Amino acid sequence: MPGALNHLKVLDFSRVFAGPWAAQMLADFGADVVKVEHVKGGDDVRRMGVPHLGADGNPTGETSSFLAMNRGKRSLALDLSKPEGQDIARHLVAEADVLIENFKTGTLARFGLDYQEVAKLNPRLVYCSITGFGQTGPMKHLPGYDPIFQAMSGLLSMTGIPDDQPGAGPALVGYSISDITAGQYAVSAILAALNHRDAVSGEGQFIDIALLDTQIHAASHMAMNYLSSGRLPRRNGTASQITCPWQAFDCADRPIMIAIGNNAQFARFADYLGLQGLAQDNRYATNLSRVQNADTLIPQIAAKLAGKQADACYAELEAIGIPAGPLNSFDDVFRMEQVQERGLLKEMQHSSAGPIRYVTNPVKFSGLEAGTDMPPPCFAEHTDAVLTGLGLDAEQIAALRDAGIVK
């Protein structure tokens, strides 16, 4: 089946996570994505993450992080600091629908590749800039990485162990949540801008995405809880601050996560635990009262679950319609029949790393394809092909390579 975006050409000038993630999503949806990398070594993420191991257990020269963010793209290595490199970039821009970049604010203007300049070449271009702090404000010039935005957005103020418990303190979310979140906002904004171009204005536009902004916005209901009540959220371990019981409990062998979403579920759960009458107790009859009296409710639940085996408990809760699940590690995740049935884990052939397993795009269309079997590119793998597509011949490409303009 065709991809939804087969008609689009995307230039990915971005590096590391947020921008490449957004460009990869567009590639998964069918867009032709050219990844423009620095001629000296390429994207920094080629040196981040763990070494990807081949079938023989030896490093392949690729890294986990690059492989995670760059499938479906073609790699062009280009020196944007040279006029000849800028000229090639402008020819690519003239044919593109979308440009994604995450240089520090003002960097591409030095090369004549800022939106104001390239829009003169291609008024239909949707130009998406992803930076730490955005294009305005007193911090616009500052760089930043995911943990900075987890900290500054307030996320770490509500993630981790409560102050009155052993090991108290914030805990970093275990993946680059600020980058991935910003990338997802970028995809949505790009698609909205393309729709506006094609259905309304006939022109592209500039999109300003800031990691700090998107991480604050993604806090959503927790930020609104504070704005509504004036009460600051707190670190609460695995427990919800607004719903109870909604946390991990220790069974006899290992933990289980339980999430009670309404009063009817709580009544069935209490009966299952042998705590008859608990759901009728005024202290626990509603979610708000359960949250307010969690200090007396949770120990009663924990004592009952402590004697149960996690797998049996999970099956029994499933049978009575109580949302619950095991605390899986990734080896557990990829053994799950549900995950296998959904086809999330796939394998593709990489030109240097051999067969690589990866998590495919999770979107399921009824009449379109999502995901790609085109592997992440080796550094500068497609330089000749991209330049040939611009009309350059072999002699011209060789001259550019000899001059260090391309790799």
Report strand pairing: 32-38 vs 73-78.
parallel
Helix (H, G, I), strand (E, B) or coil at 100: strand
Phi, psi of 325 (to 5 degrees): -170, 155
Find the helix or strand (DSSP H, E) in which 345 lies.
Answer: strand 345-350
Return the amino acid letter for 362.
Answer: P
What is the C-alpha separation between 314 and 196, in angstroms, rounded?
47
All residues at 6 or more sequence positions from 51 whose CB lies less than 8 Å from its CB, including other chains? 59, 60, 61, 62, 63, 64
Task: Tell which residue, 365, 345, 346, has the closest CA to residue 1.
Answer: 365
DSSP string, 148-197: HHHHHTTGGGSSEE-TTSTT-EE---SS-HHHHHHHHHHHHHHHHHHHHI
CA distances from 159 to 171, 228, 305, 351 (A): 6, 20, 25, 41
Helix residue spans in 207-322 (DSSP H): 211-218, 220-229, 263-272, 287-292, 294-305, 310-319
All residues at 6 or more sequence positions from 376 whose CB lies less than 8 Å from its CB, including other chains? 62, 66, 67, 69, 70, 71, 73, 350
Report strand pairing: 9-12 vs 32-38.
parallel
Q: Is 384 assigned a catalytic role?
A: no
What is the C-alpha separation between 5 and 24, in angstroms, rounded?
12
Active-site hit among 12, 97, 179, 213: 179
E strand spans, 59-177: 59-63, 73-78, 98-101, 126-131, 160-161, 169-170
Task: Tell which residue, 114, 120, 102, has the closest CA to residue 36.
Answer: 102
- Catalytic residue annotation: 179
